[in-house]
């Protein structure tokens, strides 16, 4: 029995030793329970201490799966790789001054899990190699010519330059074109313009305060002190698209003002460059997928030029983060965590924890499960109401513009029309009238002294149209009915007034008003009393026309 116990204890001891050897690089908590993997960050200090990187690392540490180890810049630059910490996972990327070859040796020796291939980052240091890789993966880019001016000086190639175009080994490239140094770290790109658009050159450079470019009208000859790429200039309607990928299936895009415009950088109140989130097209999403696959860079930024011919890639930057976007930080940290854990599972043959976002802690899991599987009747048994979910049905706000016009006016005729009690009658008369004499006299609308009653001509057809409208709307409770016939509509005499059946108000009959204020005789005392008779089918004889 004692020997059996000893054997079982020895077996347990052996298995525990095997586990310790298997996970000897994995950190443990105070109780000896395997808790976290080590995640090293190997980059220049300015990049590691940047706000986006701090936000991403904070979320990765809060997930509970990783212990973050930042490599000090002095150690990266001045110490051998054997002095560097040994980690399970590694975030390493190039920036100005970073010893990329040294980091590649570290990865080859200790084999940590990386998401951005360091050897492929060597390609990103040369614009020519970037374009060759884009061509291999069928990613659209501008047509270009590579000119090594040193070989031209030695007579190995022929280069001819004219004001509006250049010719290199019988290949002609017309202006406007952009001249880029072959070194990707050199951002001094120059745009040359033809004479018919003003000529000259626009120098693009890294943002300095509020400037990103400068126009030089006197420069029209290209630089000849090295190797340059000359590519056709593509018009983008004043915007550039910056794309940030996190894996093959995630890409965030922002639009910014193109530096090729006026060179002035638009900034927000907190000093950041103004950018707008945009939605990538299907073709642009395929481009993002291919770039991640081609350069093997999980976190990668590149530039797209949107033209009338489609999207074109003009630059691939490598490791890049979106600035000031909380949702991007959450998504990026979640994707990086999932990718690291998936590779750790494959490497160590372990089952990782749930890939849900661990920084959103659940205090009482039993209560959550109870509420999730609660019977429908139980939802109304509590003494207080509880909001379980919010369901929103939304639609976009874009609509076809209505062809309407809004304006302010002080024109008395228009104001009198809408303020007058007879506007309804005028609309009715114009709607049902078939005689041009019933409608508004356009010539009299332009007179200086006008009146709404003066510009109307009434006759028997007008009365007939009004009675017809009243007959169709006589049952409407809100309709105000007027009898616009003369009081003595059955006789040949007219007393010059109109009855209002609802009010005892006498409105002057339009038959006895002059057609305009410029009539030859407007004094009623001079009107012959014997000439006030009118017939319903004729205009009043007392009406006077203007001279």
Q: When comparing pLDDT for 374 and 139, which is higher?
A: 139
- Say what the pLDDT of residue 431 is: 52
pLDDT, tens digit, 9 for 90 and up, residues 480-506: 444 444 444 444 444 444 444 444 444
| Rounded Cα distance, 456 and 514, in Å | 10
- Say what the pLDDT of residue 421 is: 59
With H, G, I as helix, E, B as strand and everything else as coil, classify residue 208.
Answer: strand
Least confident of 276-280, 370-374, 394-398, 492-496: 492-496
- DSSP per residue, 73-85: HHHHHHS-GGGSP
- Say what the pLDDT of residue 139 is: 97
- Say what the pLDDT of residue 461 is: 43
Mean pLDDT value across residues 301-325:
94
| Rounded Cα distance, 518 and 416, in Å | 20
Tokens of 461: 């057809």
Average pLDDT over the chain, rounded to an integer: 76
> Are 146 and 327 within 8 A, CB to CB?
no
Neighbours of 193 (CB within 10 A): 19
pLDDT, tens digit, 9 for 90 and up, residues 108-164: 999 999 999 999 999 999 999 999 999 999 999 999 999 999 999 999 999 999 999
CB within 8 Å of 51: residues ≥ 6 apart: 323, 324
pLDDT at 381 exceeding the cut of 60: no
- Say what the pLDDT of residue 351 is: 67
Mean pLDDT value across residues 238-255:
95
- Say what the pLDDT of residue 401 is: 66
pLDDT at 528 exceeding the cut of 90: no
- Say what the pLDDT of residue 353 is: 62
pLDDT at 413 exceeding the cut of 90: no
Task: Parse the chain into domains and list their residue ranges.
Answer: 23-116, 124-331, 412-531
**177: nearest Cα among 169, 162, 118, 185:** 162
Which CATH code fits 124-331?
3.30.470.20
Mean pLDDT value across residues 251-264:
92
Burial class (CB in 10 A: 0-12, 13-18, 19+), 315: buried
pLDDT, tens digit, 9 for 90 and up, residues 39-65: 999 999 999 999 999 999 999 999 889
pLDDT, tens digit, 9 for 90 and up, residues 333-356: 999 999 999 999 888 887 666 555
Least confident of 84-88, 415-419, 428-432, 542-546: 542-546
Least confident of 189-203, 237-251, 271-285, 456-470: 456-470
CB within 8 Å of 216: residues ≥ 6 apart: 200, 201, 202, 203
Helices 412-419, 423-432: crossing angle, 10 deg rounding: 100
What dihedral do alpha carbons 285, 286, 287, 293 form, nearest 10°?
110
| Rounded Cα distance, 126 and 228, in Å | 11
Strands (E), 88-143: 89-92, 113-114
> Are 240 and 305 within 8 A, CB to CB?
yes
Q: When comparing pLDDT for 167 and 427, which is higher?
A: 167
**Helix H or strand E encompassing 345:** helix 326-348
- Say what the pLDDT of residue 255 is: 94
pLDDT at 74 exceeding the cut of 80: yes
Least confident of 391-405, 415-429, 463-477: 463-477
What percent of the residues of the chain are helix, what percent strand, and what percent coil, each to the nearest 5?
30, 20, 45
Which among 206-215, 293-302, 319-328 has the top mean pLDDT? Answer: 293-302
> Are 287 and 304 within 8 A, CB to CB?
yes
Tokens of 451: 């009146």
CB within 8 Å of 196: residues ≥ 6 apart: 164
| Rounded Cα distance, 162 and 190, in Å | 17
| Rounded Cα distance, 236 and 432, in Å | 57
State the DSSP code for 511: G
In this prediction, residue 433 has a pLDDT band, given cuts at 50, 70 and 90, of low
Mean pLDDT value across residues 314-342:
94
| Rounded Cα distance, 491 and 521, in Å | 27
Q: When comparing pLDDT for 269 and 310, which is higher?
A: 310
Whole-structure pTM over 0.95, yes or no? no
In this prediction, residue 271 has a pLDDT band, given cuts at 50, 70 and 90, of confident
Least confident of 26-40, 90-104, 306-320: 26-40
Q: Are strands 165-168 and 299-307 parallel, antiparallel or unpaired?
A: unpaired
Tokens of 135: 């061509």
State in Å, rounded, how far the first CA of the chain is from the last one. Answer: 139
**196: nearest Cα among 219, 176, 166, 221:** 176
- Give φ, ψ of 490 to 5 degrees: -95, -5
- Say what the pLDDT of residue 350 is: 75
pLDDT at 423 exceeding the cut of 80: no
Q: When comparing pLDDT for 196 and 538, which is higher?
A: 196
pLDDT, tens digit, 9 for 90 and up, residues 272-292: 899 999 999 999 999 999 999
The domain 23-116 having CATH identifier 3.40.50.11950: the answer here is yes
pLDDT at 536 exceeding the cut of 60: no
- Say what the pLDDT of residue 113 is: 96
State the DSSP code for 308: T
Tokens of 325: 């976007």
């Amino acid at each position: 029995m004692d020997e059996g116990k000893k054997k079982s204890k020895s077996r347990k001891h052996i298995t525990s030793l095997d586990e310790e050897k298997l996970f000897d690089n994995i950190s443990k908590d105070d109780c000896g329970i395997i808790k976290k993997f080590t995640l090293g960050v190997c980059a220049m200090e300015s990049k590691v201490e940047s706000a986006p990187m701090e936000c991403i690392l904070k979320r990765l540490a809060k997930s509970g799966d990783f212990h973050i180890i930042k490599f000090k810049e002095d150690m990266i630059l001045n110490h051998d790789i054997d002095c560097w910490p040994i980690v399970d996972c590694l975030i390493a990327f190039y920036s100005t001054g970073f010893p990329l070859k040294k980091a590649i040796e570290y990865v080859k020796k200790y084999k940590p899990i990386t998401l951005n291939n360091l050897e492929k980052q060597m390609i990103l240091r040369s614009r020519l190699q970037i374009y060759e890789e884009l061509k291999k993966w069928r990613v659209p880019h501008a047509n270009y010519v590579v000119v090594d001016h040193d070989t031209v000086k030695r007579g190995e190639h022929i280069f001819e330059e004219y004001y509006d175009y250049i010719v290199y080994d019988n290949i002609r490239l017309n202006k406007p074109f952009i001249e880029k140094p072959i070194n990707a770290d050199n951002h001094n790109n120059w745009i040359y313009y033809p004479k018919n658009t003003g000529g000259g050159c626009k120098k693009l450079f890294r943002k300095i305060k509020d400037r990103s470019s400068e126009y030089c009208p006197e420069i029209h000859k290209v630089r000849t002190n090295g190797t340059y790429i000359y590519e056709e200039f593509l018009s983008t309607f004043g915007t550039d698209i910056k794309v940030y990928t996190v894996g093959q299936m995630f890409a965030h895009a922002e639009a910014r003002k193109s530096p090729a415009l006026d060179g002035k950088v638009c900034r927000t109140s907190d000093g950041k460059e103004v950018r707008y989130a945009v939605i990538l097209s299907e073709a642009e999403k395929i481009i993002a997928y291919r770039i991640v696959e081609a350069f093997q860079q999980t976190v990668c930024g590149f530039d797209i030029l949107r033209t009338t011919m489609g999207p074109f890639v003009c630059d691939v930057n490598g490791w890049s983060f979106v600035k000031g976007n909380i949702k991007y930080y959450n998504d990026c940290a979640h994707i990086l965590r999932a990718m690291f854990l998936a590779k750790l599972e494959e490497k160590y043959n372990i089952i990782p924890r749930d890939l849900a976002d661990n920084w959103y802690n659940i205090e009482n899991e039993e209560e959550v499960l109870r509420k999730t599987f609660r019977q429908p009747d139980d939802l109304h048994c509590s003494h207080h109401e509880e909001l379980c979910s919010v369901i929103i049905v939304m639609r976009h706000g874009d609509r076809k513009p209505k062809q309407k016009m809004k304006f302010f006016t002080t024109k008395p005729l228009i104001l009198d029309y809408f303020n007058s009690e007879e506007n309804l009658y005028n609309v009715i008369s114009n709607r049902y009238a078939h005689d041009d004499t019933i409608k508004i006299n356009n010539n009299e609308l332009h007179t200086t002294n006008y009146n709404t009653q003066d510009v109307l001509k009434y006759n028997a057809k007008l009365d007939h149209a009004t009675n017809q409208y009243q007959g169709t709307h006589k049952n409407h409770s809100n309709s105000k009915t007027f009898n616009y016939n003369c009081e003595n509509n059955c006789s040949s005499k007219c007393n010059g007034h109109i009855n209002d059946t609802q009010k005892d108000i006498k409105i002057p009959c339009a038959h006895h008003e002059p057609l305009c204020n410029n009539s030859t005789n407007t004094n009623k005392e001079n009107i012959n009393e014997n000439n006030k008779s009118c017939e319903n089918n004729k205009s009043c004889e007392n009406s006077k026309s203007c001279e």
